[in-house]
A and B are shown apart, each in its own frame.
Chain A
Amino acid sequence: MDFLTPVLEGFGVALQPMNLLFCLIGVTLGMFVGVLPGLGPAASIAILLPITYNFDETAAIIMLAGIFYGALYGGTITAVLLRLPGEASSAVTALDGYAMARDGRAGTALGIAAISSFIGGTVAIIALTFIAPVVAGFALDFGPPEFTALALLGILMVATLGSGSAVKSVVAAALGLLLASIGQDPLIGTGRLNFGSDQLFDGIPFVIVAMGLFGVGEILYNMESVRNARAKIPDVGRVYPSRADLRQSRGAMSRGSVVGFVLGVLPGGGAVMSSMVSYAVEKRVSRKPRLFGKGAIQGVAGPETASNAAASSSMIPLLSLGIPANASMAVIFGALLLQGITPGPLLVEDRPDLFWGVVNSMYLGNILLVLMCLPLIGLFVRIVRIPVGVLAPVALIITLVGVYTVRMSVFDMFLMIALGVAGYLMKKTGFEPAPLVLAFILGGILESAFRRSMRTFDGQLTGFLGEPIAATLLAATVGLIVFTILKALRAKRAKHQPTNETTPV
């Protein structure tokens, strides 16, 4: 049990009053940052970086990490209440969370989200404590071929996400792939579909797509109901999830923890995919997949657990390899450098107090967050009762300001409005924005990973078969397709010939 000594000493560090205070400041700031759409954790950490110069190094990193995972708790609130996903990870939560809020179950959705976030975060930190070195190596096994296979599997799952017409889902997903191809070619560096504009040269940031299509589209759609004078203000309902709600979410939470922890370790897109994969998994294992998109509680519990688990485990590559797994980690990397510490493989040995102090502060931070969130739910759900005529313009302004802060660009504000109009029209014509948004994320990952793989394999597709992890994932993808087709065929046959002939498959 020798290895536990530094872990326990880390608790001593995390529990020092000063560090505890900075943890509290961090998570509180993070929660507010998360509530504001657009102002993401990466940007907020960057803004606060200069303040941390004069702090003790452990306190500084504890606070910045708190902002990062605290923002995930806050991001859920607007996703559920207003369908405004402030972060990529809460885009999926918006699907069923918002449906629940419309149903008068906003309190339940927020409560389950807070509890799921807590469980996901905590499970991942426990796993981090015991197996961080093992999983850090796992991150290195994931190269372009593996990401290609993972993204393919993800896109297949996205195809099953829509709850409406399959054709319309596919059309929306294709549009998402098209939007993803705007901007600099990931390998050659030339501009694509940017019409000569420098503003589009780097593509469209995900936040703008998600907030435009989901958030602004929804705001516009709601404003219609004001004119039609059939504005129905949903009830707030009970504020806390019931025992039955918790029982229903139990499975989703445990699956979400595993999915999130594993995918969060992967640098470059793993954490973003975790909430999506978890949603798809929940829909597959559910006995009532039709409820998804219409307010299934598992559709909130799973992805929320996964995204928080992924947030915790995305600290592993940073702290044990010195590789930032996402934008927020890159800024924390910068913060460590500022303090004169180079994150890398030697950090755990050289600075166990810092490493374990930060990791253990995350246990405390998650407890603080769930304690803060639950009482506040009663307050937040009242937002739903604000008349649309008042809420819509306020939400729109906050959203526009939020989008501006992403790149300090006025162009982005107009871009988001245009996407908002597109989202409104999609809703009017029965297209769902969800497959578009999800395909948008996965499309970028798939394209660059596939092209990198092909260069590595010298243009030979068979190269994928030589990579065990990639080959396994591809086999799973093929298996899933075959299984789906067989199931559909069997259902059809059973319909046509109800009595004779048992299916020969």
Chain B
Amino acid sequence: MLISHHLRRPARLGRLTGTALACTALLATGCTVYGGSNGTGTGEFPNRPVEFTVPTEPGGSSDLVTRALARSTEEHLDGTTIVVNKPGANGKVAGNSVFRSEPDGHRVAVMPQSLFSIGPLVVDDPEPIELSDMTFIKGLTIEDYVLVVPAGSPHRDLDDLLGQDRLNYGTAGAGTGGQLAQALLFGFTDVPAADIPFDGGGPTMTAVLGGQVDVAALHPAEVMPQIEAGGLRPIIVFSDERLDALPDTPTAVESGYDVVVDQRRFLAAPAGLPDKLVDRLGAAADKATVDNEYETILENNYIRQWNAESAEVESQLSESRQRYATLSRELGVDLGGQS
């Protein structure tokens, strides 16, 4: 662990290999190692690399954010960190793996709000991850949604769009914020609109650029380059206030529809993490999120900082879950309903 301070970034691969070897060694010697470290008492954390689990494939925005976070956290934690990708089941695979482990601070996950607030509206999961399975450490990011039409579209603004006889709207998949936001918006106005879920943001972009769908809701990072190049036109944003990047685009609320939807990510550990470690990890993450590199990645991707403490994360999750459920019920929106 001392070595890592000297050979920081370029040595990452070597360190990964080293970590893997170390883990193998740990496994091989089993309890002895753990017993020994526990026996020596306080201040031992971290006594092995802290593992940050990302619930997505490598390369996406949450992977980039987590990697930057893990790297800067390292400096403030006085130990090493590694990033592990465990994609699957909208984040549930990663959650189950981390939140069922020992709450000793060595395993944390960067989880999406959508799994808890939108997921239950889509899938009837008999064994969901409950909020009580997690210890919240810190809120990290907020990603917004922009409603866009292709540049060649005849629909100039929202009223124009809502006056259509029929609409096809593209989403990045079932259970995404973009799907919920559009379902609610079109639910408010009774426009017959067909939900066309694609396999992620890339294919959705292709569909809206090519005019395969009339409209789509995507993250600013996905649409901004196309908006700047004149390929797409923003109609509204689903944030509570206008976005810095799109000062001329009104919010849904301004336009008279009370739809505020975003994607948030937060750092969480297994339930029962001692307060001392929550503070320790929280403080390290706090410092890491003002790191230059971390901020640059957020800025380049039009992601907002979500500086929320542990309790605030929990209330945001349960509040958004309730609000989305109530709205969907009132508007008769059923995300899993069409075939």
Write the residues of chain A forming the contact surface with B, with a CB cutoff of 8 angstroms.
Answer: 42-43, 45-51, 53-54, 139-144, 184-191, 196, 198-199, 201-202, 267-268, 317, 321-325, 327, 330-335, 337-338, 340, 342-346, 407-408, 448, 451-452, 455-456, 458
Contacts and interface: CB of A to CB of B under 8 A. Distances in A.
Contacts of B221: 337, 342
* Residue of B89, B205, B211, B226 with most partner-chain A CB within 10 A: B89
Interface in B311-339: 335-336, 338-339
Nearest to B224: A342
Given A267-B206, A334-B59, A345-B226, A190 B126 contact: no
Given A331-B59, A337-B64, A50 B12 contact: yes
Given A143-B210, A338-B64, A455 B195 contact: yes
A140 B196 CA distance: 16
* Residue of A189, A199, A331, A458 with most partner-chain B CB within 10 A: A189
Contact of A187 (B85, B124, B174, B203): B174
Given A46-B85, A142-B210, 13 more contacts: A46-B63, A49-B59, A143-B207, A144-B196, A187-B338, A201-B93, A322-B205, A334-B59, A335-B59, A338-B297, A346-B228, A452-B196, A456-B194
Contact of A188 (B12, B93, B339): B339
B85 A408 contact: yes
B86 A140 contact: no
A49 B209 contact: no
Given A199-B93, A331-B58, A342-B300, A47 B13 contact: yes
B274 interface: no
A322 B219 CA distance: 14
Contacts of B211: 140
A493 B225 CA distance: 62
Contacts of A50: 9, 12-13, 67, 71
A346 B229 contact: yes
B166 to A, nearest CB: 7
A334 B58 contact: yes
B13 A48 contact: yes
A196 B126 contact: yes
Given A51-B12, A456-B168, A140 B210 contact: yes
A330 B60 contact: yes
Instruction: Report, as a range, how many residues of chain B touch the other chain.
Output: 35 or more
Interface of B: 9-10, 12-13, 16, 57-61, 63-64, 67, 71, 84-90, 92-93, 96, 122-124, 126-127, 166, 168, 173-175, 194-199, 202-203, 205-207, 209-213, 221, 224-226, 228-229, 231, 296-297, 300-301, 335-336, 338-339
Contacts, number: 177
29 contacts: A47-B58, A51-B13, A140-B211, A141-B210, A186-B199, A187-B338, A188-B339, A190-B336, A198-B89, A198-B92, A199-B93, A201-B93, A202-B87, A268-B199, A323-B205, A324-B202, A330-B59, A334-B63, A337-B64, A340-B300, A342-B221, A342-B224, A345-B231, A346-B229, A407-B87, A407-B88, A408-B85, A448-B199, A456-B196
Given A337-B301, A346-B225, A407-B87, A51 B338 contact: no
Nearest to B53: A408
Contacts of A139: 206, 210
Contacts of A456: 168, 194, 196, 212-213
B337 to A, nearest CB: 8
Closest 8 CB pairs between A and B? A189-B174, A344-B225, A46-B58, A143-B212, A140-B210, A334-B59, A331-B59, A201-B89
A107 to B, nearest CB: 34
Contact of A342 (B96, B207, B213, B225): B225
Contacts of B86: 407-408
A139 B207 CA distance: 10
A54 B9 contact: yes
B296 to A, nearest CB: 7
Nearest to A198: B89
A188 B338 contact: yes
B88 A202 contact: yes
Nearest to A140: B210
A42 B58 contact: yes
Contacts of A54: 9-10
A199 B199 contact: no
B197 A187 contact: yes
B197 to A, nearest CB: 5
Contact of A330 (B13, B202, B335): B202
A199 B205 CA distance: 29
A144 B196 CA distance: 10
A50 B64 CA distance: 10
Nearest to B63: A334
B123 A191 contact: yes
A331 B127 CA distance: 32
A456 B213 CA distance: 8
Contacts of B175: 189
A334 B62 CA distance: 10
Given A185-B174, A187-B197, A188-B122, A343 B88 contact: no
